Homo-oligomer: A and B are copies of this chain.
Amino acid sequence: MIYLDHAAATPVSPNALRAMLPYFSEDFFNPSAPYLPAKRVREAYEAAKNDIAHAIGAKGTDLVITAGATESINLAFTAASYTSRSKILALVTEHAAVLEAAKNYPHELVKVDKNGLIDIDDFRKKLSNEVVLVSISLANNELGTIQPLAEISELLRAVRQERLRQGIATPLYLHSDASQALNLLDINVARLGVDLLTLNAAKCGGPKGVGALYLAHGITLHPLAVGGGQERGLRSGTENVPGVIGFATAVKETKAHLSGNRKKYQEMASALRQELAHTSIVAHKPEKVKPIFLGNPKHQLVSFVPVCFPGLDAERLIYKLEQEDIYLSTGAACAANKGSKSHVLAAIGLSDDEIAGSLRISLGATNNPAQIRQSASLIRAAVEQEYQRLAKRQ
């Protein structure tokens, strides 16, 4: 099996799973119970939260543990309940969780350029005094495009000062969904200048069903669910102890191997791009076509190789490659499942035809160079066959 869809899900790392196991069985206690073994579970849970927080330059008490990125994003957006007219700005290419959550508030979407990078002029234009929350993913889940968050937060700082000068009390927060970036970038909340940051265990070798929201001091959020008052009242319910232990172990591991993994993924991605660039295309239309690599590698997660084969049906390619035990996708899993066309690829200006011929390849911990060489030639062969098939039909 060659798995090329790490942006959709990652296996739980063996170390993370090993760390989780005792908390299912012998150390199963409710961390809020009053006896010693339960208090030890509480300590392990809080230590794990600290480990996750340290990886982004924060403290454990700055985090709210959630059931995943979607919940974190929805919780973060409650900061926009400041007034009923408070507005959210989000990138047009954000994940469905951001775009759907934004619909619960007055909101506007900010354009991107052909590489998926924020259109700063459009952003400035839409940054009116009603805007309370700006949501820009650190790295896009289909293109891997890394947004210039530090630059954006500088701009927001200037806007805050201007509001202060004008006596406007409306706060202005920067939220970023870092789901795709945690295992590929060195993240520091202070350096990025974010007020809210969404993390997802399942994209970096941790278990599904666990996420976190980093929350700077002084931001008022409204819990999505209330009850026993866990997570400082922001997220009630018995803590998912094994999940958080697994998340922390995966984060520490990914952090320890960050530069080595980046180098490894970069080399593999580069080999894959080279092989695919040489795909011999028998054009089925009079025009000469060639593969289009989406995004700009200078501003892209090193593990992402989103590529468009104009005129082809990417779903047929996925099916063909599945026969060779190569697994990849057309875009976000939740969208792919519904057969809807990618709003991300539309936003960077691809035609419907180009969107239909696009693959998202995302490398990760399960890959090695030999696998990538093998899959590159198999993907190339599948693409060439498809183009030949189409040429014959004409």
Cβ–Cβ < 8 Å partners of A242 in chain B: 207-208
Q: Among the listed B17, B70, B97, B329, which residue makes an inter-chain contact with A33, where contact means beta carbons less than 8 Å apart?
A: B329
How many chain copies? Answer: 2
Query: Which of A2-10, A80-88, A287-295, A378-386 lies at the binding interface?
Result: A2-10
Cβ–Cβ contact B74 & A225, under 8 A: yes
Instruction: Check B329–A227 contact: CB distance below 8 A.
Output: no
> What sequence of 0s and 1s flags, for each residue 48-80 of chain A, a beta carbon within 8 Å of any chain B beta carbon?
000000000000000000111111011100000
Once bound together, how far apart are the Cα atoms of A8 and B338, in whole Å?
40
Contact residue range for chain A?
35 or more
A34 at the interface (CB under 8 A from B): yes
Known: A30-B333, A208-B240, A209-B67. A35 touches B322 (CB 8 A): yes
CB of A228 within 8 A of CB of B37, answer no
Closest to A229 in B: B334
A225 touches B228 (CB 8 A): no
Q: Which of B26, B228, B328 contacts A96 (CB 8 A)?
A: B228
Cβ of B9 and Cβ of A333 under 8 Å apart? no
> Is A336 in contact with chain B by the CB < 8 A criterion?
yes
Beta-carbon contact of B34 and A318 below 8 Å: yes
Contacts of A10 in B (CB 8 A): 28
- Does A336 lie within 8 Å of B14, measured CB to CB? no
For A333, the chain B residues whose CB sits under 8 A away are: 30, 32-34, 38, 228, 238
Q: Is the CB of A11 within 8 A of B25?
A: yes
Measured in the bound complex, the distance between the Cα atoms of B222 and A232 in whole Å is 24
Shortest Cβ gap from A119 to chain B (Å):
24
> Which A215-243 residues sit within 8 Å CB-CB of chain B?
224-230, 236-243
Question: Is A33 a contact of B336 with CB atoms below 8 Å?
Answer: yes
Nearest CB of B to A323, in Å: 9
Output the residue of A30, A68, A69, A243 with the most chain B CB within 10 A.
A30
Contacts of A350 in B (CB 8 A): none
- In contact, A71 and B208 (Cβ under 8 angstroms): no
Q: Which candidate, A100-108, A257-265, A305-313, is the interface stretch facing chain B?
A: A100-108
**Are the C-beta atoms of B32 and A70 separated by less than 8 Å?**
no
Quick one: CB contact mask for A19-51 with B, threshold 8 Å, 1 for yes?
011001110111011111110000000000000
A89 sits at the interface (CB 8 A): no
**Which residues of the partner chain B approach A101 to less than 8 Å between Cβ atoms?**
225-227
User: Assuming the A-B contacts A318-B35, A338-B229, are A71 and B30 also in contact, with contact meaning beta carbons closer than 8 angstroms in the complex?
Assistant: no
Nearest chain B CB to A279's CB is how many angstroms away?
A: 21
* Contact string against B for A residues 301-342, beta-carbon threshold 8 Å, 1 for contact and 0 otherwise: 000000000000001001000100001111011111110000
* A67 x B327 contact (CB < 8 A): no
Contact of A208 among B73, B96, B104, B239 (CB under 8 A): B239
CB contact between A9 and one of B225, B229, B230, B238 (< 8 Å): that residue: B238
Residues of A within 8 A of B (CB): 1, 5, 8-12, 14, 17, 20-21, 24-26, 28-30, 32-38, 66-71, 73-75, 95-97, 100-101, 103-104, 202, 207-210, 224-230, 236-243, 315, 318, 322, 327-330, 332-338
- Going nearest first, the 6 A-B pairs with the smallest beta carbon separation are A228-B334, A209-B240, A97-B227, A70-B237, A67-B67, A74-B225
> Can you list 25 residue pairs at the A/B interface with Cβ under 8 Å?
A5-B30, A5-B33, A5-B35, A8-B29, A9-B28, A12-B24, A17-B24, A29-B327, A30-B333, A32-B334, A33-B333, A34-B318, A35-B322, A68-B237, A71-B237, A96-B229, A97-B225, A100-B229, A101-B226, A101-B227, A208-B243, A209-B210, A224-B224, A228-B333, A236-B334
